[in-house]
Amino acid sequence: MAENWIDVSAEDEVPQEDVIGVEAHGRDIALYGVEGQVYASDGICTHGHARLCDGFLDGFEIECPLHQGTFDIRNGRAMCAPVTEDIRVYPVKIEGGRVFVDLG
């Protein structure tokens, strides 16, 4: 698959042990900072229509603010009801203090 790296944020705007929402080519993306690493996933929950950047990050699990479904941000796996469908995650690289996300 073609690479499609998009500059989405400054690295220091990604909070540690928390989540922010950004936009890339009209798509909602959530960026997570955990243990000095940055992770990225789709920003809208696969269950109800809610933004994961309004949710709560606990270790590597993001909890949706609407119905408390959780995803593992490393692989997108749906972890508990009511979410059953995994969420898409994206490769991330840091260059020159900027965060790039590969939308593929």
Partner 1 sequence: MGDMPGVFPKDPKWEGDGSSRIPFWAYTDEALYKKELERFFYQGHWCYVGLEAEIPNPGDFKRTVVGERSVIMVRDTDGGINVVENVCAHRGMQFCRKRHGNQTEFVCPYHQWNYSLKGDLQGVPFRRGVKQDGRVQGGMPKEFNTGEHGLTRLKVATRGGVVFASFDHGIEPLEDFLGPDILHYFDRLFNGRKLTILGYNRQRIPGNWKLMQENIKDPYHPGLLHTWFITYGLWRADNKSQLIMDAQYRHAAMISTRGSGGARSEVTAGVTSFKESMEIQDKRLLDIVPEPWWQGPTAVMMTLFPSVIFQQQVNSVSTRHIQPNGTGSFDFVWTHFGFEDDTPEMTERRLIQANLFGPAGFVSADDGEVIEFSQSGFEQKPFHRALAELGGYDCGNTDHMVTETLIRGMYHYWRKVMEV
Q: Based on C-alpha coordinates, what's the Rg of the chain?
A: 13
User: Residue type for 77, please?
Assistant: R
DSSP 103: -
Binding mask 33-72 for partner 1 (x = CB under 8 A): ---------------x-x---x-x------xxxxxxx---
State in angstroms the smallest separation of the CB of 93 from partner 1.
Answer: 27
Contact flag: residue 28 with partner 1 (CB under 8 A): no
CB 101 within 8 A of CB 5: yes
Q: Specify the residue, 37 or 46, whose C-beta has the smaller distance to partner 1.
A: 46
Q: Specify the residue, 5 or 21, whose C-beta has the smaller distance to partner 1.
A: 21
Contacts of 8 (CB under 8 A, 6+ apart): 22, 23, 24, 29, 31, 40, 99, 100, 101
State in angstroms the smallest separation of the CB of 1 from partner 1.
Answer: 30
Q: Which residues bind partner 1 (CB under 8 A)?
A: 48, 50, 54, 56, 63-69, 81-82, 84
